Amino acid sequence: MTTTEPRRHEICAIALAEAFRGDGEILASPIGILPSIAARLARATFAPDLLMSDGVASLVAGIPPVGAVDERPTVEGWIPYRTVFDVVWSGRRHVIMGASQIDRHGNQNIACIGDPKRPKAQLLGMRGAPGNTINHTTSYWIPAHSRRAFVARVDVVSGVGYDRAAALGPRASRFHEIRRVVSNLGVFDFQTADRSMRVVSIHPGVAIADVVEATGFPLVIDEPVAITRLPTAEELDLLRRVIDPRGLGAREVPA
């Protein structure tokens, strides 16, 4: 067992893994390194029924290490893009996406910065964000918490937030859920009366004032502010020895 103190990216991995708790036998779709580490950790511990793809077209069994190119995990199914869309629209999926911008109601932008007719910066495009957010559970991973990312107003709504969902009415929005937002500073959700973003916990060593300062809108803060839980010894061992032996997760979180 590893004995050194957990590092920030490992605490983020735990916070992201917790997003999948209770999800059962659905497709976990982590976008990015730490979400991928987190989904593996969840499956290796408290969410063993999660399905995961190899990022190409196979559902894979076991806990293959992240970033391993020469590993040949056991394939348990075929999931070409057409099947991915079927799963998205069936609702049996939980995606962790990134967000170049996110607002207090959870509207997400990955499309572009500036006027979408003639953007200052083209980003990834709409990709699957509109369909994901209106059809199944979504969480977000934002590795650099700042006022550039946590904004009063997103330039383009790719992923649907709670205010936009509410405006559609209860029927059209009944599958919409933003489970949590995890950043390098803390964990956030929308379990508030007006579905605005709330601090669930801040990571050990982070001051709530730093979170407030780095956020471009008012956060709902319940006192006393909780601290994100630490990985257990077993979880740390899994992270360091099995899931991320090359230490890729550390690269995604600024020191």
Partner 1 sequence: MRDKRTSHDEVIAELRDGMTIGIGGWGSRRKPMSLVRALLRSPVTDLTVVSYGGPDVGLLCAAGKVKRLITGFVSLDSIPLEPHYRAAREKGYARGGEGQGTSAEGGLGEGKEGEPSRTGPRGSSPPERAGIDTAELDEGMLQWGLYAAALRLPFLPTRAGLGSDVLPLNPWLRTVTSPYDDGETLVAVPALELDVALVHMNRADAAGNAQFLGPDLYFDDLFLGAAKKRFVSTEKVVATEELLAGGSLHTLRIHRGMVDGVVEARLGAHFTECPPDYGRDEAFQKRYAQAAADPAAWGAFADQFLSGTHDDYVRAVEALR
DSSP annotation string for 118-161? S-SEE-S-STTHHHHHHHSEEEEEESS-STTTB-SS-SS-SB--
Which of these segments, 64-72, 78-86, 206-214, 234-242, binds partner 1 (CB under 8 A)? 78-86
Binding mask 19-58 for partner 1 (x = CB under 8 A): -------------------------------------xxx
**Reduced to 3 DSSP states, what percent helix, strand and coil does the chain have, rounded to the nearest 5?**
25, 20, 55
Contacts of residue 179, Cβ cutoff 8 Å, sequence gap at least 6: 19, 94, 137, 138, 139, 189
DSSP state of 96: E
Binding status of residue 126 toward partner 1 by CB under 8 A: yes
With CB under 8 A, what is the number of residues at the site for partner 1?
46
Site for partner 1 (CB under 8 A): which residue of 17, 50, 60, 129?
Answer: 129
Q: Are 119 and 113 in contact (CB under 8 A)?
A: yes
Q: Are 160 and 95 in contact (CB under 8 A)?
A: no
Binding status of residue 77 toward partner 1 by CB under 8 A: no
Binding mask 194-223 for partner 1 (x = CB under 8 A): ------------------------------
Positions touching partner 1 (CB under 8 A) are 56-58, 78, 80-82, 85, 88-89, 111-112, 116-131, 133-135, 156-160, 164-165, 167-169, 171-173, 175-176
